Amino acid sequence: HEVNIKILLTDVMADSKNGMTLEKRNRLLESMTDEVASLVLQHNYQQTQGISLTETQAAEHLTVHADWIRDLERYEGIDRVLEGLPGEEEIESRQRAGKGLTRPELAVLFSYAKITFAKDLLASDIPDLPETENWLVDYFPSPLRKKYETVIRRHRLRREIVATSLASTMVNRLGPTFVKECMEKTGAAPSDVARAYLIVRAAFDLETLGKQVEALDNLVPAAVQLAALRDISAMAGREVLWFLTRLGRELNVSEDIREFRTGISQLQATLDDVLTEQQTRFIKQRTDQGIADGLQPDLAHRIAMIPRLGAACDIIRISLECKTPIPLAARVYFAAGEHFPLHWLRKQARYIATDNRWTSEALDGLIDQLYSCQTGLATRILTDMKTEIKRASCGPSG
């Protein structure tokens, strides 16, 4: 942060219109010491949080993590011994014992994931998108944002700052191998994964929700926070994959944010009214548990709703395709999932243990197909409903 701030202030001083002298620069730097320290600590906090989140699933993700280590050896030339990463025999031993990578080992994966992803983003047009300008501006302390935003937008290292900040956030929120997994499952480029994340993050307002959970530090047990963050991360990951595989066209960050944010807001406002009785009981149980764990009722309810809100993109697409209101599309979607019963099948599939990458990917594919079946059923039901209504409105002679 300090180096990039000094580069910015050098540019400010170069323009006499700004009236920035060396003495004023030094006073300004000193006045921002606490905020700069806070920004650095926030980055460290989120990385530690990300490592903790990944650690809770380290054993079940050992196969994927091991693949990433091999990729780092092959393409980045790392030395496992120097980096403190386990060898193949140790990985096999941990797999048999049901153990995963340790926190120090995960920290190494986080670092390399951020470095490699940032390089990929820097080589793309992601840092030049209007939707990433806020990543550049928010990087700097508030006194600089308020007075020199125009200069910030012309920063000599603006592309590097955006690429590094976005890569860091995605790895912290979604894990060190998420981008790699998306690329392997969908054939998408790293920049496409970033585009999808930008859409999901803004459309679902994930940053606000994440900050609400982070504000619970020292107010609720850490395990409660991690469980909430895990739910948010799982939903975000599923929606990123949805945009990469289900949209049926190239992503347009600004247009997709606008379209899906509106639909998601409509769904959130009516979600309590469109769920089945069984699903409503499930949400109430989750909400009550959240309140018992120390969450405020509104936040407990919002987190309890996350598994159902994860269907938002499918529901919005059904609504658009069938030209029906979102509440009706949602009601039919959830009813179809319970009647057939696709939600139960997905739940059972997630309980199946996997011991290699291929089995895990096959299982993910099965779960995805069950979601597709539910979407297809809801679409067919709504289409048939409209046909019957039209036929009835025509009367006997129609």
| Tens-digit pLDDT profile for residues 234-261 | 999 999 999 999 887 789 999 999 999 9
| pLDDT confidence of residue 54 | 97
Is residue 140 within 8 A of residue 152, CB to CB? The reply is yes
CA distances, 185 to each of 180, 188, 199, 307, 361 (Å): 9, 8, 19, 22, 8
Domain extent listing, the chain: 1-58+102-176
Share of the chain above pLDDT 90, in %: 84
Over the stretch 324-348, which tens digit does the pLDDT of each residue have?
999 999 999 999 999 998 888 888 8
Residue 244 structure tokens: 């990469």
The whole-number pLDDT of residue 394 equals 65
Q: What pLDDT was estimated at residue 398?
A: 45
Least confident range of 286-290, 308-312, 363-367, 378-382? 363-367
Q: What mean pLDDT is predicted for residues 161-185?
A: 96
Quote the pLDDT of residue 180. 94
* Predicted confidence (pLDDT) per residue in 56-65, tens digit: 999 989 999 9
pLDDT at 214: 93
Angle at 53 between CA 52 and CA 59, to 5 degrees: 90
Q: Which of 62, 56, 58, 55 is nearest to 90 (CA)?
A: 62
Report the pLDDT value the prediction gives residue 17, as an integer from 0 to 100. 86
| Whether residue 168 has pLDDT greater than 90 | yes
Mean pLDDT, residues 178-199 taken together: 95
Determine the pLDDT at residue 390.
Answer: 66
The predicted structure's pLDDT at residue 19: 87
Residue 354 tokens read as: 């996997």
Sorting pLDDT into bands at 50, 70 and 90, what band is 298? Answer: very high
Question: What's the first-to-final CA gap in the chain, in angstroms?
Answer: 72
pTM reported for the whole predicted model: 0.92
Give the confidence band of 393 by pLDDT, cuts at 50, 70, 90: low
Burial pattern 105-118, b for ≥16 Cβ within 10 A else e, equals: bbbbbbebbbebbb
354 compared with 210, residue with greater pLDDT: 210
Share of the chain above pLDDT 70, in %: 97
31 pLDDT band, cuts 50/70/90, is very high
Task: Identify the pLDDT of residue 52.
Answer: 96
Q: Residue 278: is its pLDDT beyond 60?
A: yes
Residue with tokens 């297809």: 376
86-134, pLDDT tens digit by residue? 999 999 999 999 999 999 999 999 999 999 999 999 999 999 999 999 9
Residue type present at position 175: G
Instruction: Specify the pLDDT at position 102.
Output: 97
User: Would you state the pLDDT for residue 64?
Assistant: 92
